[in-house]
Amino acid sequence: MDTRKRYDPFLLLVICIFLSLIETTLATVQERHLYKWEVEYMFGSPDGVENVVMGINGQFPGPTIRAKAGETIHVELTNKLHTEGVVIHWHGIRQLGTPWADGTASISQCVINPGEKFTYRFTVDRPGTYFYHGHYGMQRSAGLYGSLIVDVAEGEKEPFHYDDELNLLLSDWWHQSVHHQEVGLSSKPFRWIGESQSLLINGRGQYNCSLAAHYSKNPTVNGCNLKGGEQWAPDILKVLPNKIYRLRIASTTALASLNLAIGDHKMLVVEADGNYVEPFETADLDIYSGESYSVLISTNQNPKKNYWVSVGVRAREPKTPQGLTILNYLPNSVENLPDSPPPVTPQWNDYAHSKAFSNKILATMGSPKPPKNFSRRIILLNTQNKINGFTKWSINNVSLSLPATPYLGSMKYGLLHAFDQTNPPENYPAQYDVMKPPANPNTTLGNGVYKFDYQTTVDVILQNANALSDNVSEIHPWHLHGHDFWLLGYGEGKFTPKDEEKFNLKNPPLRNTAVIFPYGWTALRFVADNPGVWAFHCHIEPHLHMGMGVVFAEGIEHIGEVPHEALACGLTGKMFMENNKH
C-alpha cells in the first residue's frame, strides 16, 4: 500500500496564490514607503524674488512623507550638492532601535559627502504631525525641509472627529544665501544678517507686496500683481462649508517665533508635538521653531465669504511682514478677498499672552504620567559669550563644538580620545546674576557628553539669562532628539529648589520642543530609556550654529550593530578600514 501523502492540486494552487498575494502585499507596503531622494541646489522664487534654494527631487519644500504608525520608512538619499555634505533629521521621530538614523551630523552619523548615498530606515512608532529638515551647517535655513505625517495604525481611530485635513508648514526666508549668514555669524566683529525678508506658508510668501494691501493706510504698501500659477502665489486652503477640518501646523523657521490666526474662526488645539492634549479653544496660536500642533476648525462662518489665514512674528521686534493666505469657502472664487483686514498679531513682546497660551497645553486623560522623583538633575544656563572676540552662545559657559568622529561610533567602539572625556558642568556658579550681562563674557569650546544611566529619570532645568547687551534676553525653543519629555512648568527669574512646588506632576504635556522665556526657567523631565547619543539644542538655527547645544548619551551597551556607512569617517572610518585589511 502506498503510504505517501497525496496533496490536492487545487489546494496547492490556492496556497500558492495566497502566499503570492501576501508577498505582493508586503512588497507593496514596503514600496509605498520607499523614497529615492536627490538633494540639490536649484533656482526658485519662494517669495517672488528668484533665489537659490535647497530642494529634493526638484521640489521645495521637499516631498511630504505619509505613513501609518508602526510602518517603516526607507529613504535612499543621494547628495547632489557639489561642495558640501548633507544629513536629514526626522524631527519628532524617536528612532527607537535606530539611533544612527536620527540624522545629526557628528552625533549620530557621518555627513553624506557629495555624490554619496545613504539609506535612512526607521519605524514611525506613533501617530502625529512631524517634519524633517537638514541638520548640517544651516541647511534648514537654505530650505531643506518638508512634512512628515503619521496616521493612526490600521484599525485604530483618532480620539476626535474631523472630515478632512490641511497641512501648514511655516518657515522664514532670507534673500542672502545661507553661506552669507554663516560667514557673518563666524566673523569678528559679528555680522548679523537681520530679520528674514518674508514668512512662508507651505513654501510660499510675498515680498515687497501684500495680499491685503487695499486694507492698508500706508500708501507705500503695494498690492501683489498675481496672474496665477506663480511659485510665490499663496497656497490657498480650500474648504467646504459646515465641515470640521484638522489643520496640521509645523514650524521649521530658522529664527522667528510665530503667531497664527484665522479670521473669524476659533481653533481647538488637540495635538502638540505628536501627543494628544486636553482640547482647548483659542483665537490665535503661538508656535516656536521645532513645534507642531493639530487644531480643529469648524467652517461654520458665512459661506459666501473667504477668510484670512495670517502668520506674524513674535518675541522679536517684527521687521518681517505677516505671511498670508486665504481660507477659501467653496464654491466661492478665491479672487473674492476677505471683507476684513487680516487678524492682528499680538504685540511681539507681549509675553503674558505667550505664557497664557503655553500654560493651557495639558496632557489629555490617559496620557503617561511622569515619575514622581528624578534620579539626576542638570541645570543649563543659556548665555551669550565671547571667544577671542568671536560671539558665541554657551551652556554653562561651554560653547558646543562637534568632533570629527560621530559620538555614536566613538562611544560604541570605545574610542575615548575622539572627544573630550571631561564631564560637562551640571550647573552654573550660584553667584551668577541672570538679570545682567555676564561679568566675564569669555567662554570656552567643548564637546563633552552628559552620560545618563540607562532607564533613569532625568530633570533638566533650562535657565535663561541676559545676553551680552543690557536688557536683552531672547526666547529659546529647545528640542530634544530621541525622546519626548514632560514639560513640568515655567517660572520667572532664577530657578531655586523652592520652585519645585510649582511643578505640574498631574497632567504635564509630553513634548519634544519647549520654549524658555526671557529671564525665566523651564523644567523638563524624561526617562533615559532610548539607547543612543542624542542632541539637545536651541532650535533657532543661528544659535545652534554658534554653539547653543549639548549632547546626551544613554544605554550605549544596548545598541546593536551600527551600519558601517553611518560611521565611515573620522576614527571609526579608519577603524573599519583597518579591520577589513585583516
In a shared domain, residues 144 and 221: no
Share of residues in the chain with pLDDT > 70 (%)? 94
Per-residue b or e along 105-140, where b marks 16 or more CB atoms closer than 10 Å to that residue's CB: bbbbbbbbeeeeebebebbbbbbbbbbbbbbbbbbb
In a shared domain, residues 111 and 228: no
Where do the DSSP E strands lie in 183-289? 198-201, 237-239, 244-251, 257-262, 267-272, 275-282, 284-287
Amino acid sitting at position 261: A
pLDDT at 120: 98
pLDDT digits (tens, 9 = 90+) for 371-399: 999 999 999 999 999 999 999 999 999 99
Per-residue b or e along 164-182, where b marks 16 or more CB atoms closer than 10 Å to that residue's CB: eebbbbbbbbbeebbeebb
Tell me the torsion sign for CA atoms 499, 278, 248, 284. Answer: negative
Is 441:190 a contact under the CB 8 Å cutoff?
no
Number of H helices, E strands in the chain: 6, 32
Distance of CA 541 to the CA centre of its chain: 11
In a shared domain, residues 200 and 344: yes
pLDDT digits (tens, 9 = 90+) for 319-331: 999 999 999 999 9
End residue of a domain, out of 335, 363, 391: 363
* 3-class SS of residue 523: strand
456 Cβ contact partners less than 8 Å away, ≥ 6 residues apart: 375, 376, 527, 528
In a shared domain, residues 66 and 133: yes
In a shared domain, residues 140 and 171: no
In a shared domain, residues 519 and 395: yes
pLDDT at 13: 53
pLDDT confidence band for 487 (50 / 70 / 90): very high
- Establish if 15 belongs to a structural domain: no
Max CA pair span of the chain: 104
In a shared domain, residues 281 and 335: yes
Question: Residue 168 corresponds to which cell in the numbers above?
Answer: 501648514
Alpha-carbon torsion, ordered 447, 450, 454, 458, to 10 deg: -150
Tell me the C-alpha distance between 25 and 367, whole Å: 34
pLDDT at 578: 82
Question: Residue 526 corresponds to which cell in the numbers above?
Answer: 524624561
pLDDT at 582: 58
Q: Flag the least confident range among 43-47, 333-337, 484-488.
A: 333-337
Distance set, CA 9 to CA 12, 14, 18 (Å): 5, 9, 14
* DSSP, res 489: E
End residue of a domain, out of 320, 342, 363: 363
Work out how many domains the chain is built from and give that number. Answer: 3
340: nearest Cα among 275, 262, 409, 418 = 262
Tell me the C-alpha distance between 214 and 211, whole Å: 8
- Establish if 27 belongs to a structural domain: no
pLDDT at 22: 45
pLDDT at 173: 98
pLDDT digits (tens, 9 = 90+) for 156-207: 999 999 999 999 999 999 999 999 999 999 999 999 999 999 999 999 999 9
- Establish if 274 belongs to a structural domain: yes
Give the other-Cβ count within 10 Å of 1's Cβ. Answer: 2
Question: Residue 249 corresponds to which cell in the numbers above?
Answer: 501646523
Tell me the C-alpha distance between 252 and 258, whole Å: 11
End residue of a domain, out of 363, 398, 431: 363
Tell me the torsion sign for CA atoms 179, 181, 185, 188. Answer: positive
Tell me the C-alpha distance between 316 and 235, whole Å: 26
Tell me the C-alpha distance between 515 and 535, whole Å: 16
In a shared domain, residues 405 and 490: yes
In a shared domain, residues 61 and 179: no
322 Cβ contact partners less than 8 Å away, ≥ 6 residues apart: 199, 310, 311, 312, 342, 345
- Establish if 187 belongs to a structural domain: yes
Above 70 in pLDDT, residue 17?
A: no
pLDDT at 146: 98
Helix (H) or strand (E) holding 182: helix 178-185
pLDDT at 5: 47
pLDDT at 220: 77
Is 562:408 a contact under the CB 8 Å cutoff?
yes
pLDDT digits (tens, 9 = 90+) for 99-119: 999 999 999 999 999 999 999
pLDDT digits (tens, 9 = 90+) for 515-528: 999 999 999 999 99
Ramachandran angles phi, psi of 462, nearest 5°:
-90, 120
* pTM across the whole model: 0.93
- Establish if 524 belongs to a structural domain: yes
- Establish if 370 belongs to a structural domain: no
Tell me the C-alpha distance between 167 and 158, whole Å: 17
Amino acid sitting at position 508: P
What average pLDDT does the segment 57-67 reach?
A: 98
248: nearest Cα among 370, 354, 126, 149 = 149
406: nearest Cα among 545, 531, 567 = 567
Is 350:381 a contact under the CB 8 Å cutoff?
no
What average pLDDT does the segment 421-429 reach?
A: 96
CATH code, domain with 203: 2.60.40.420
Residues in the chain: 582
In a shared domain, residues 240 and 289: yes
| Domain extent at residue 491 | 376-573
Distance set, CA 234 to CA 44, 210, 212 (Å): 15, 11, 12
- Establish if 3 belongs to a structural domain: no
- Establish if 581 belongs to a structural domain: no
User: If you average pLDDT over every residue of the chain, what do you get?
Assistant: 94
What average pLDDT does the segment 545-555 reach?
A: 98
List the strands of the sheet with 398-400, edge to edge. 444-446, 398-400, 390-395, 376-387, 457-463, 520-527, 485-492, 510-511
pLDDT digits (tens, 9 = 90+) for 244-281: 999 999 999 999 999 999 999 999 999 999 999 999 99
In a shared domain, residues 563 and 445: yes
556: alpha, beta or left? (left if phi > 0; alpha if psi -120 to 50): alpha
In a shared domain, residues 310 and 433: no
pLDDT digits (tens, 9 = 90+) for 19-58: 444 444 444 444 568 999 999 999 999 999 999 999 999 9
Alpha-carbon torsion, ordered 335, 336, 341, 347, to 10 deg: -50
Give the other-Cβ count within 10 Å of 301's Cβ. Answer: 18
pLDDT at 412: 96
pLDDT digits (tens, 9 = 90+) for 200-251: 999 999 999 999 998 887 777 889 999 888 999 999 999 999 999 999 999 9
Is 158:294 a contact under the CB 8 Å cutoff?
no
pLDDT at 4: 43
